[in-house]
Each structure stands twice: as C-alpha cells, then as structure tokens.
Amino acid sequence: MKMQPTQEQCEEKELLPSRRGQVSFATFHPAWGGYVGATRVEFDTVSTEQERPGRFNLQNWHDGEYPILDDDGVPTEINGCSAMDFILFGLDVLEKQTQLQITEQGDQVKLDPQEVKSAILRLLALPATESKH
C-alpha cells in the first residue's frame, strides 16, 4: 500500500520514492465536488510511446465520497469544480514526464509541436477576461 502524499508534498509536486525504473510525484487531482484529492502520479522512466510521453497511473486519496460504481454498475456523478484544474493537472504530469522520462533509445521524450500549438490555440480561442491584478 502506497502512502498518501501530504498537502505540502502535493503543493510542491514533490518527487516520491518509487520502484526502480519509475518516477513518482505528488500533486492534487482536480477537485471532485469541492473535495481535495491528494494524488500520486507514477510513470515509467522509459516511454514505449516512441518519442512521446507515455502512460501514467494515478492513486487518489479523496476526502469526500470517492467516485465509485454503485451495485448496479452506475458511476457516481461527480461535480467537477473547474475544467481549468484538469488542464493544469495535465500540465503537471507533462512537465514531470518531459523532465524525467526517456525513450527506449535513451533520448528525452518530447511533445509534438503541432499538438502543443493546437492546444494553445484552443485555449486562446476561449473567451477570457483581462486580469485586474
């Protein structure tokens, strides 16, 4: 059983002990219905997805009702607080992968520039307000 990351570890996106050949770090899962989800993200140091960052696993500790299937196999409905939280969560994972994951040939994994550009353009196309700071 893996230990639940602390709030401080999640805030700092701290690297956690992991098995050889893996990277593990703490972060917060995007909120479910206002509840916090301390999360451990793990991925292999070597990606099998060619040059791209590979798959990752999440272990969530949730301080509210955990989203599970009921006896009829129907998922619990979760009220997500902000889609932006999921985007930032994905960036947390991608940043660690591009820093700490390599290809099977030993090269650093890379993001597809067109995919990055497309994501940026989609974000920029959304209506936004100017910051008043």
CA distance 103 to 116: 19
pLDDT tens per residue, range 7-60: 999 999 999 999 899 999 999 888 766 677 888 899 999 998 878 888 888 888
Q: What is the predicted pLDDT for the residue at 102?
A: 94
pLDDT for 126 beyond 70: yes
Classify residue 27 as exposed, middle or buried by CB count within 10 Å of its CB (0-12, 13-18, 19+).
buried
Q: What is the predicted pLDDT for the residue at 96?
A: 96
Domain borders along the chain are: 7-125
Span 97-103, average pLDDT: 94
Q: What is the predicted pLDDT for the residue at 59?
A: 85
pLDDT for 133 beyond 80: no
Q: What is the DSSP letter of 96?
A: H
CA distance 85 to 20: 30
pTM score of the predicted model? 0.72
